[in-house]
Structure 1
Amino acid sequence: MVNKQPAQTFRLGELFSGPGGIAKGAQLASGIAGNFIAHAWATDYDKDTCETYRANFKGTKVINQDVRTLDIKKQLGPIDALAFGFPCNDFSVVGERKGIEGSFGPLYEYGARVIDEYTPKWFIAENVGGLRNSNDGLAFKTILDRLQHAGGKMDGYRLYPHLYKFEEYGVPQRRHRILIVGIRDDIDVEFMVPSPEPYKDADVSAETALKGIPGWATNQEHTRQSKAVVERLKHIKPGENAFTADLPLGLQLNVAGAKISQIYKRLEAEKPSYTITGSGGGGTHVYHWEEHRALTNRERARIQTFPDDFEFKGGKESVRKQIGMAVPVEGARIVFEAVLKTFAGIEYDGIEPNLHHLIPPRRVEAKEMSATLA
């Protein structure tokens, strides 16, 4: 039997909101069986990112501020749901992987503090797949332990952590991210990870994703490619990069240390894109399979499944960063729909979370110990 909650509107707060990939997914999912999601507030430290959010989610309270300086009680407000894609720099397989000890690693704690203060009915936390191996797995277990005991005096949250491979959900990109869904312990519903089975026949090719971009869509400026870059790309086949292609000596890169596989890597027309990133210098902009150029920001946004009328604010490099740091809209929509169906008591094709076994055992709280001793 599937339990059902009364139809309701969930007030959604967002920390580390980015430009609105999660928010757009929530907006598109809203309305299932009378269950809606209403944006209450959002915060991000980047000015252009906040301007993008304001432009696309008019009327939402957007706070442009470092989360570490926020007054959680005074500046935010009551919510029923929380989303936070806490910065992944210290957990990424591309970065230095400092994990829980890095300057960005502990930022998940601010999400937990918001949960402590407002005890939302549910939350979604997002991070890179590398999180599960950071600090030999200790970082992930520490985060899971903190989140399942969040909520102040409440009983805590049941967690459903899962490594989503978004190309298996109709997203034209090989983007693997951990999403942790948490549902408050006193709410009698059971979340299931949405199954990728309904999307097994979806066309996730880069060629299809980039077809038919309307002329009125913004952010279609081309990157100025030097003659050397154009010549290098002429020797790189689809799927190859600057280190795997057979490049003439004069076009080879003299790079010490790790040779990142995405440098001047061309897409393959019939396959999903490799992961769109928001940082990096020359050679990291994602390259067309046929034309000797980097993708435009609108093409990157297509791969991240942003709708063509989504408006990005800021300069070209700022927009590239915003797009690369976002959660794919369609991936977010699918997870939000599953949450809303869970609360509506609607059955859907679900699977067990593949990281559930990493959740640490619940700590025995003092009040539980007292009850046991009594």
Structure 2
Amino acid sequence: MRIVDLFSGAGGLTFGFYYNLIDGQFVRNENCDIIFANEFDHAAAEAFRMNFPDINMIERDIKKLKREDIVQLIGDEEIDLIIGGPPCQSYSTIGRRVYDDKAKLYNEYYRLLNIIRPRMFLFENVKGLLSMKDENGNSIIEDIRNKFEHIDDNLGYRIVYDTLDAVRYGIPQHRERVFIIGIRNDLDIEWNFPEGDDQEITLFQAISDFPPIESGQEITEYGECVPQNEYQRLMRGNTEELTCHFLAVYGDKIQTVMNHVIPGEGREYINRLVDEGVLGEEYRLTSGYKNTYGRLYADQPCTTITNNMSTPSGLRCIHYEQNRALTPREGARIQSFPDWFHFSGNRKQIKTQIGNAVPPLLAIRLATELERILA
């Protein structure tokens, strides 16, 4: 299967086509040949190169990928599949939604479909895509459907899309994302999204084998902590050096809040403690959403991992037991990145690479089904 990988980031979606999951191990999938990948962000592109050194990474603004460049990259053989999803921040229902240049990047996906003309494509984005409108009030998902179904007089793609929750595919996290499948209209192919599982992996089951860590620390060894279950063994693999297990230095207010908040509670709970006199007025929280400064449950899957996974004032991300936020490596583990997967850049860039990614285990499930019907 010949694949082109767009908006690749550090490679969460890529991972699902690069590896198979066999007998509790990630094994290179020799049936998938990723011809080239494209990513604009330098740190993400560098992380991609570290993890997939044999894939041709084109680090360039997709708008500057010209027809002649693409034709030369893909050669004479047909491309079976394009994978990838444009940046999703503009569509997100968390924060300010705006129809900006990033929101319009699906038009570049459309342009490359016209050039490459693959048999199928896989397009991923946040659930907010379904309700997003352009500056004229027109539905973005309908614009995507209309454009992709009628690329020109001879080419179009039948569109199937659904919202999948990662928790149903072996990932210890509730993460709803829209996946759009396009099938070239000259092909007699039927697509059904893979069925999920009923059994959920809890946050405790996912990350309880990481060594304890405190404000300002960075820990690079697992020490005496050993994997306790199948998921932890899969994620740990043969990794010996622990990376990205670090925390910022917390000030008194943030640390005090984390010391007092209980599982399932957040900002409003802390303010009740202030009202009751348990905490002083200086600890009142006056900004943020209802689920900010929230402590996670040990016995439930995690809430959605974002690039604010280590920011208590961002979203619910306080460790179920320790008085701290999640570390980036814990966030990566919750996303189902194995511990040996590398991230690149400064701390903010690393968290962005993790928070923006498609969970690799979900990618594997999608890749398996696509490989089956395209074989």
Q: Residue in 2 aligned with 1:94? A: 94
CA contact (8 A) 1:15 1:42 kept: yes
- Report the Cα offset of residue 283 of structure 1: 2.0
Distance 1:44 1:243, change over 3 A: farther
Query: What is the CA–CA distance in structure 2 between the aligned matches of 1:130 and 1:137, rounded to whole Å?
Result: 14
Instruction: Please state whether the residue corresponding to 1:320 is helix, strand or coil.
Output: helix
Equivalence map 1:305-316=2 (5 Å): 305-316=336-347
When normalised by structure 2's length, the TM-score is 0.81
> Which residue identity does 2:8 align to in structure 1?
S
Q: Residue in 2 aligned with 1:20? A: 11
1:284 counterpart = 2:285:
no
Q: Residue in 2 aligned with 1:265? A: 294
- Report the Cα offset of residue 75 of structure 1: 4.9
Equivalence map 1:84-233=2 (5 Å): 84-98=84-98, 101-135=99-133, 138-150=139-151, 152=152, 154-196=154-196, 199-201=197-199, 203-213=200-210, 215=222, 216-233=241-258
> Which residue identity does 2:249 align to in structure 1?
R
Distance 1:67 1:282, change over 3 A: farther
Q: Residue in 2 aligned with 1:330? A: 361
> Which residue identity does 1:163 align to in structure 2?
T
Distance 1:266 1:63, change over 3 A: same
Query: What is the CA–CA distance in structure 2 between the aligned matches of 1:228 and 1:304, rounded to whole Å?
Result: 29
Query: What is the CA–CA distance in structure 2 between the aligned matches of 1:243 and 1:342, rounded to whole Å?
Result: 50
Query: What is the CA–CA distance in structure 2 between the aligned matches of 1:154 and 1:279, rounded to whole Å?
Result: 45
CA contact (8 A) 1:149 1:155 kept: yes
Deviations 1:215-249 (A, max 9, x none): 22211122222222111112211122223443423
CA contact (8 A) 1:262 1:283 kept: no
> Which residue identity does 2:54 align to in structure 1?
G
Unaligned runs of 5+ in 2: 211-220, 223-240, 275-280
Instruction: Please state whether the residue corresponding to 1:164 is helix, strand or coil.
Output: strand
Shifted more, 283-292 versus 72-81: the winner is 72-81
Higher relative contact order (CA 8 A, sep 6+): 1
Query: What is the CA–CA distance in structure 2 between the aligned matches of 1:91 and 1:277, rounded to whole Å?
Result: 14
Equivalence map 1:41-60=2 (5 Å): 41-60=36-55
- Report the Cα offset of residue 189 of structure 1: 1.8
Distance 1:176 1:137, change over 3 A: farther
Instruction: Please state whether the residue corresponding to 1:180 is helix, strand or coil.
Output: strand
Query: What is the CA–CA distance in structure 2 between the aligned matches of 1:143 and 1:30, rounded to whole Å?
Result: 33
Instruction: Please state whether the residue corresponding to 1:336 is helix, strand or coil.
Output: helix
Instruction: Please state whether the residue corresponding to 1:106 is helix, strand or coil.
Output: coil
Query: What is the CA–CA distance in structure 1 between the aligned matches of 2:318 and 2:47, rounded to whole Å?
Result: 25
Query: What is the CA–CA distance in structure 2 between the aligned matches of 1:169 and 1:339, rounded to whole Å?
Result: 16
Q: Residue in 1 aligned with 2:237? A: none
Shifted more, 43-52 versus 65-74: the winner is 65-74
> Which residue identity does 2:36 align to in structure 1?
W
1:70 counterpart = 2:79:
no
Instruction: Please state whether the residue corresponding to 2:261 is helix, strand or coil.
Output: coil
Q: How many residues align?
A: 325
Unaligned runs of 5+ in 1: 1-9, 345-374
- Report the Cα offset of residue 318 of structure 1: 1.1
